[in-house]
Amino acid sequence: MITTGVQTGAVSVRSIATAVPPTVLEQERVRDLFVGQADLSRLARRLVGSVFDASAIARRHTVVDEFAGATSGAAAFYEAQSQTILTPSTGVRNAAYTREVRPLLTAAAASAIDEAPGLERSDITHVITVSCTGFFAPGPDYVLVRDLGLAPSTRRLHIGFMGCYGAFPALRAAVSTCLAEPTATVLIVCVELCTLHVRSSNDPDTIVASSVFADGAAAAVVSARPAPAGSAVLSIDAQETILTDGGETDMAWTIGDLGFEMVLSRYVPRIIEDQIVGALLPLLGTDPASAATAWSQIDRWAVHPGGRAILDRVQRALDLTEEQMSPSREVLRDYGNMSSATVLFILKKHLDHRGQEAATPSSPERIAAMAFGPGLTVESALFTRLVTP
């Protein structure tokens, strides 16, 4: 029996919805595009080929429609005729973020509210937005209140620059809100436009980042209010955060003159493999000797796909099956790494599991989720998927 620390099972995720921009980046085409850049050394060309081919990504999405041949004035990110990846300033990239983030943000949010059983827009009392790929004020939280026609009194919070684990602090804030105010309903939206910061470079970290990062948004509705009978929900049972020993300089996200700059060293997967068991033990309320028993009581896993190597290392460290890893690998294959939004894409797969079956599951299912980010930080959460009686 898994025991947990602070029990918050009265609060549940009622719905999850996702949105991606229409422009698709086929991984093989993007690989060839980067290999063909004139500024690359011979070694970097070989590295681009091997990194992209080993990524386990088939396609990603981007708001930069110039990569699809769209032209509306002077090119800013990609010059199609010469097939050159350009180097716009941080100001130009951030202006694109301000412009392009709005439709993704509102599309995911509107769908999540529409799909939340027993809830409407008028029920939303709090909005939490998460993003680390751009800045503007009034920000995404304000945009949601205005564009969705939410009450002017809606309380708002924006969580910025926390990286790939940003959805977990948002969930923690939503849980605290719902416990303090049992009638509250919280709308969380994670939106990331990572490809705005893509660039050609000889630097190995930059090449890795260019091979995995993508754009997308995911929204979740969280509430402690009773859900209608027959509703599938994710009860939020526990959350934990752990700073690993080391890794502070191996994963970082800073602002440069030519965009945001990612440090993602080749040691990150190894650090995660070495420390993931210890990082998850507090979540499961167990000790190392009982870890194997605790893992066996988890039905499903939502592992943030920071990259293929990270998934491989986590699977090996936790002795997970291919079936348990398949939702994470499918999201990586079809969408790439969308930073904070990615883990919600995976949790949506679990929430929608058996959604088209008339019969409800014979018993609740335990789900463990985790994501990794600058620090090196491991954020995790324990859910129970159940159908309300």
For 331-353, letters b (16+ CB in 10 Å) and e give: bbbebbbbbbbbbbbbbbbbbeb
- Strand 365-373 and strand 300-303: the pairing is parallel
For residue 382, the SS3 value is: strand
Total number of residues shown for the chain: 389
Of 294, 272, 274, 300, whose CA–CA distance to 379 is shortest? 272
Note if 164 is an active site residue: yes
Which one-letter amino acid corresponds to residue 316?
R
Helices (H), 265-321: 268-284, 291-296, 308-318
Tokens of 47: 């590295």
Cα 112 from Cα 16, distance rounded (Å): 5
Cα-only R_g, the chain: 20
Tokens of 338: 């969308």
Tokens of 101: 């983030």
Q: Which of 132, 164, 178, 194 is catalytic?
A: 164
Q: Which residues are catalytic?
A: 164
